[in-house]
Amino acid sequence: MRVAHLALWLILSLWSVASAQSRLEERHVLEGTSGRVLRILSTADLDVFAPYLAAFAAENPAIGLDYSVVSSADLERMIREGAGYDLALSSAMDLQFQLANDGFALRYQSEATQALPDWARWRGLIFAFTAEPAVVVIARNAVADLTIPTTRRDLISLLRDHPDRFEGRVGTYDVRESGLGYLFATQDARATEAYWRLSEVMGRLDPKLYCCSGAMVDDLSSGDLVLAYNVLGSYARERLAREGSDDLVVVEMQDFANVMLRTAIVPRQAGAPDLAGRFIDHLVEIGLRPDPAHWPLPPLSGIGNAAAPSFGPIRLGPGLMVNLDWLNRRNFFRAWENSIRQTVDAAP
Amino acid sequence: MTPQGSILRSLTLLLAGVAAVLSILSWLIVSDFARRAVGRAQDNVLAASVTSIAETLRAEMGEVQLELPYSAFSMLGAISEDRVFYRIVAGGRLLTGYDDLPGIAEGDLEIGRVAFATDDYAGETVRLASATRIVAVGGDPVPVTVTVAQTRAGITQVASDLSRRAALISVVFFCIAVLLSAIAARASLRPLSDIAGAVARRGPSDLRPLHRRAPSELSPLIKALDRLILRLAESVRRSEDFIAEAAHRIRTPLTTVRMQSELALREADTDADRERLRRIIRAVDESSRSAGQLLDHATVAFRAEDLVRDPVDLSQLARRCVESIRPTAQMRDIGISLRTDPAPVRGDAVLLDTAVRNVLDNAVKYSPQATDVLIVVGQSEGESFVRVRDEGPGLGTGDFDDLTERFRRGPTAVDHVGSGLGLTITRDVLRAHGGRLVLENCNDEEGNGACVSLILPSG
Ligand SMILES: Nc1ncnc2c1ncn2[C@@H]1O[C@H](COP(=O)(O)OP(=O)(O)OP(=O)(O)O)[C@@H](O)[C@H]1O
Ligand SMILES: [Mg+2]
């Protein structure tokens, strides 16, 4: 069905790899009837985000869309350097927050954004439109005879007790490469002591390190991985639904689960902030819908329905900036490398 | 008398003015207080933030190390949605943070104490907090300055929200105060309106002192009123006495003169003497009559000033008048018949009696011997009336209303003693009661003659 939507659009270019845009991983240009174009810079893969674009295009046929996918770090750098985009959508809350804090975002207000709960917006500069938990994804056959872990403590014992099953087949974010991975890791480290023990246990199992959730899910479904920690639940579920497979189990940790808010800002250099505002309204309305079952990304309204008591979104606030300080970063990387990269470092 | 302003209104306005001033004052104070409180709250949190960062400072491997605690910034996020900036300088070199963030003048910084300043950064006003700590790196003391800044937009918003709420409360207070002012003004003026009411409710001839209990401020007024009433009562009594006294003083000598004249007439020898004495007697009669009528006229003028309105039935009043005049009528063989229906009116019985008596007197006086006078009393169309008709010469020709002028006597008056005041008195009495006098000649099957009607509103 998504393919059918895509077919409706005039796809001008795919996989643009020109050197000037070397950071762009994907780019889609959808022409509108008026000649006005909304330029979106995003970290969400087109696979996942296409329906949102399709729905907007259907409602606003006059507006053209230029959707580019980059990593969250590149997104932050490009906006800071003044790249001419009208809207920046990112999963790295801390980077988005710092952009807003440092004055790189334009203020926007509408009925839709007023309807957002307080935790989902900050100063009319930054707006959340999805709430996506970090999950553990496990290959069913690897733990067929064992109980599926629901807390980090269980996960640690599972990995420690069965190194044979997991050796070289455990994956997680490379926090040095992925902004989202770093965000999840720092939040974990702040919330629970178990994080460092888990990192050490994983580090002994020769873990594979990834830039993105998509790649982790790819390897999980191909069987290269049997367990991935801190995967975006939305990507994993979307993939499972697409392939109709039952091989993978998506587990939300019950002791503590990070919930990332995907956020939008209107960059200071935006040429069409009005169109950006309209797109934000569109995203927020979908995000606040009580039953957005048809959308690939989880709604904001899912927050609070979860059973786990510690389940809450990462707070949009200046606290996020702490992790971005280079001293804190350096210290965290040192600690992280010490725990997770032990085997890698040991065998140069 | 047009009232010159209202005490109630000016008192209410005055109190409302005071309330307005107090409301505005309290709003200003609360707003200022809110601004200060919010500002102080921000300073406290900034200080806590700076301190918590400074506490993590340490020397490690020959360099200054620190850990920005999550709480250092999250606590700033808790007070308002304001932007946060920071800068940490070790030994004059930027360690981390925003390089261009303004600092606090060296002189204001004191080791171990948090200093504050307000400055502009990133296009906004920011509040800065700064503290310096000495860290020993490899034996050398290195001063490290931690500066944390937060914009003021959010807290200004909070302060103005509070101020707006205070304004709303002030407005509500003001409205309540105005309401209470009006009630208070009314309550404090109540004794005054009570007294006014008590005076207004009095009957016209009620001249008793007020004898009211009143607030001390009003007792001079009450006393003055009481004195005035006493004087008035005194002067009324004196006037009445004077009229009665005057009538007596004039009539008594006249009676003597008349009696002596009559005796002289009986003993008079010549026709010329007799004629002369008859003229004297007639003149005395006229004088006596005039004196009586003048007194009645004065009484009418006096009593009409302040008319009593008692219920009076004209039919009974007419019957009494007829009885008192019947002897005179019988002497001249004049029959008086009375036809009455109840005819209630409100008024002064004494004056009404005078009015009716004068008309009856005319009818009997101007009727020839052996005729009839008919009196009809009744009520029609909301009016009560007394109609007196005789079989005499009638009122003549011309404008009858002239007959009601003072001292005016008609052509029929020849040979009859009179003063020309009777109809004047009657008309004045009726006017004072809101009624009227109708003079007609009646020419119908019952014969000719004067037909005089006294018409009064029923009551
Ligand atoms: N019933 C009547 N018949 C004929 N003429 C009348 C009658 N009533 C009044 N008049 C005329 O009207 C005139 C005015 O009357 P009025 O009663 O005022 O005065 P008066 O009778 O002359 O004097 P007095 O003051 O003594 O009554 C009379 O002089 C008389 O000419
Ligand atoms: Mg008369």
* Residues contacting A222, CB < 8 A, separation 6+: none
Global pTM? 0.65
* CA-based nearest distance A249→chain B, Å: 33
Note whether B338 and B379 are same-domain residues.
yes
Residue B115 belongs to some domain of the structure: yes
Residue A236 belongs to some domain of the structure: yes
Note whether A39 and A120 are same-domain residues.
yes
Note whether B23 and B155 are same-domain residues.
yes
Q: What residues of A are in the B interface, CB distance below 8 Å?
A: 101-103, 122-123, 190, 315, 317-322, 325-328, 331
| Angle, CA of B288, B333 and B424, to the nearest 5° | 40
| Angle, CA of B310, B314 and B320, to the nearest 5° | 105
* Residues contacting B231, CB < 8 A, separation 6+: none
The ligand 1 atom nearest the CA atom of B361: 27
Residue B171 belongs to some domain of the structure: no
Note whether A138 and A114 are same-domain residues.
no
Per-residue pLDDT at B442: 84
Note whether A217 and A336 are same-domain residues.
yes
Note whether A115 and A170 are same-domain residues.
no
Q: Which of B73, B122, B123 sits opposite A321 (nearest CB)?
A: B73
Note whether B151 and B264 are same-domain residues.
no
Q: What Å distances lie between residue A26 and A82, A219, B245, CA to CA?
A: 20, 20, 130
Note whether A168 and A223 are same-domain residues.
yes
* CA-based nearest distance A275→chain B, Å: 26
Note whether A127 and A142 are same-domain residues.
no
Residues A214 and A231 sit within 8 Å (Cβ to Cβ): no
Residue A315 belongs to some domain of the structure: no
Residues A323 and A332 sit within 8 Å (Cβ to Cβ): yes
Mean pLDDT of all residues belonging to chain A: 84
CATH of the domain at A123: 3.40.190.10
Residue B68 belongs to some domain of the structure: yes
For residue A142, give the nearest of A109, A165, A159 by alpha carbon.
A165
Residue A27 belongs to some domain of the structure: yes
Q: In angstroms, what is the span from residue B58 Cα to ligand 2's centroid?
A: 132
Per-residue pLDDT at A343: 52
Per-residue pLDDT at A179: 86
Q: Which of B306, B328, B343 is the last residue of a domain?
A: B306
Note whether B372 and B254 are same-domain residues.
no
Per-residue pLDDT at B7: 82
Cα–Cα distance between B405 and B399 in angstroms, integer? 11
CATH of the domain at B417: 3.30.565.10
CATH of the domain at B124: 3.30.450
Per-residue pLDDT at A308: 45
Note whether B24 and B118 are same-domain residues.
yes
Q: Whose CA is nearest to atom 10 of ligand 1?
A: B395
Q: How many CB pairs under 8 A join A and B?
A: 53
* CA-based nearest distance B44→chain A, Å: 17
End-to-end Cα separation, chain B, in angstroms: 30
Q: What Å distances lie between residue B357 and A108, B88, B297, B321, B440, CA to CA?
A: 101, 121, 13, 6, 18
Q: Which of B281, B306, B331 is the last residue of a domain?
A: B306
pLDDT per position as a tens digit, A33-82: 888 999 999 998 888 899 999 999 999 999 999 999 998 888 999 999 99
Which chain A residue is nearest to residue B157, measuring alpha carbons?
Answer: A123
Per-residue pLDDT at A302: 65
* Ligand 1 pocket by Cβ (under 6 Å): B 289, 293, 362-363, 366, 390, 392-395, 403, 409-410, 412-413, 418-423, 450
Note whether B107 and B31 are same-domain residues.
yes
Residue B416 belongs to some domain of the structure: yes
Residue B110 belongs to some domain of the structure: yes
Note whether B459 and B312 are same-domain residues.
yes
Note whether A177 and A224 are same-domain residues.
yes
Cross-chain Cβ contact A328/B71 below 8 Å: no
* Residues contacting A24, CB < 8 A, separation 6+: A16, A68, A69, A70
Question: Would you mind telling me the total number of residues written for chain B in this entry?
Answer: 459
pLDDT per position as a tens digit, A31-46: 888 889 999 999 988 8
Note whether B301 and B312 are same-domain residues.
no
Per-residue pLDDT at A234: 83
Cα–Cα distance between B167 and B29 in angstroms, integer? 11
Residue A348 belongs to some domain of the structure: no
Neighbours of B140 (CB within 10 A): 11
**pLDDT tens for the 459 residues of chain B, in order:** 566 778 888 888 888 899 999 999 999 999 999 999 999 999 999 999 999 999 999 998 888 999 899 999 999 988 888 999 999 999 889 999 999 999 887 777 777 789 999 999 988 999 999 999 999 988 889 999 999 999 998 888 888 999 999 999 999 999 998 899 889 888 888 888 888 888 888 766 677 777 777 788 888 888 888 898 889 888 888 887 887 788 888 888 999 999 999 999 999 889 999 999 999 999 999 998 988 898 888 888 888 877 888 999 999 999 999 999 999 999 999 999 999 999 999 999 999 999 999 999 999 999 999 999 999 999 999 999 999 999 988 888 888 888 999 989 988 888 899 999 999 999 999 999 999 999 998 877 667 899 999 999 998
Q: Give ipTM to 2 decimals.
A: 0.84
Note whether B150 and B212 are same-domain residues.
no
Domain count, chain A: 2
Q: What Å distances lie between residue B456 and A47, A299, B381, B459, CA to CA?
A: 108, 94, 11, 9
Tell me the Cα Rg of chain A. Answer: 20
Residue A90 belongs to some domain of the structure: yes
Per-residue pLDDT at A47: 82
Q: Which of B127, B159, B191 is the last residue of a domain?
A: B159
Residue B180 belongs to some domain of the structure: no
Cα–Cα distance between B30 and B204 in angstroms, integer? 60
Which residues in chain B (52-71) have CB-CB distances under 8 A to chain A?
Answer: 65-71
Cα–Cα distance between B78 and B74 in angstroms, integer? 6
Is a pLDDT exceeding 50 seen at residue A22?
Answer: no
* pLDDT tier for residue A345 given thresholds of 50, 70 and 90: very low
| Angle, CA of B339, B345 and B348, to the nearest 5° | 110
Which mutation among B412, B441, B442, B452 tests ligand 1's pocket best, with the greatest number of atoms within 8 A of CB? B412
Residue B197 belongs to some domain of the structure: no
Per-residue pLDDT at B202: 76
Per-residue pLDDT at A10: 33
Neighbours of A33 (CB within 10 A): 10
Cα–Cα distance between A261 and A127 in angstroms, integer? 9
A334 chain-B contacts, CB cut-off 8 A: none
Note whether A337 and A203 are same-domain residues.
yes
Is a pLDDT exceeding 50 seen at residue A14?
Answer: no
Backbone angles phi, psi at A162, to 5 degrees: -130, 60
Residue A320 belongs to some domain of the structure: no
* pLDDT tier for residue A107 given thresholds of 50, 70 and 90: very high
Q: Which of A101, A322, A326 sits opposite B70 (nearest CB)?
A: A322
Q: What Å distances lie between residue A274 and A57, A124, B185, B200, CA to CA?
A: 15, 14, 59, 77
Tell me which residue range forms the domain holding B215.
204-306
Cα–Cα distance between A96 and A70 in angstroms, integer? 14
Note whether B271 and B127 are same-domain residues.
no
Domain count, chain B: 3
Tell me which residue range forms the domain holding A53.
2-131+260-310
The gap from C-alpha B190 to its chain's centroid, in whole angstroms, comes to 11
β-pair partners for B251: none
Note whether A203 and A337 are same-domain residues.
yes
Averaged over A110-115, what is the pLDDT? 93
Per-residue pLDDT at A307: 45
* pLDDT tier for residue A4 given thresholds of 50, 70 and 90: very low
Note whether A210 and A119 are same-domain residues.
no
Cross-chain Cβ contact B96/A327 below 8 Å: yes
Note whether B154 and B12 are same-domain residues.
yes
Cross-chain Cβ contact A319/B73 below 8 Å: yes
Cα–Cα distance between A298 and A284 in angstroms, integer? 12
Question: E strand or H helix at A100, and its extent?
Answer: helix A93-101
Note whether A138 and A175 are same-domain residues.
yes
pLDDT per position as a tens digit, A255-266: 888 899 999 999
Q: Which of A102, A190, A318 sits opposite B73 (nearest CB)?
A: A318
Residue A316 belongs to some domain of the structure: no
* CA-based nearest distance A304→chain B, Å: 21
Note whether A213 and A270 are same-domain residues.
no
* Residues contacting B148, CB < 8 A, separation 6+: B46, B49, B50, B53, B72, B76, B84, B85, B86, B128, B129, B130
Q: In angstroms, what is the span from residue B309 Cα to ligand 1's centroid?
A: 28
Cα–Cα distance between B231 and B235 in angstroms, integer? 6
Note whether B347 and B403 are same-domain residues.
yes
Residues A188 and A230 sit within 8 Å (Cβ to Cβ): yes
For residue B56, give the nearest of B90, B81, B94, B83 by alpha carbon.
B90
β-pair partners for A65: A30, A38
Residue B199 belongs to some domain of the structure: no
* A314 HSE (CA, 13 A, CB side): 34
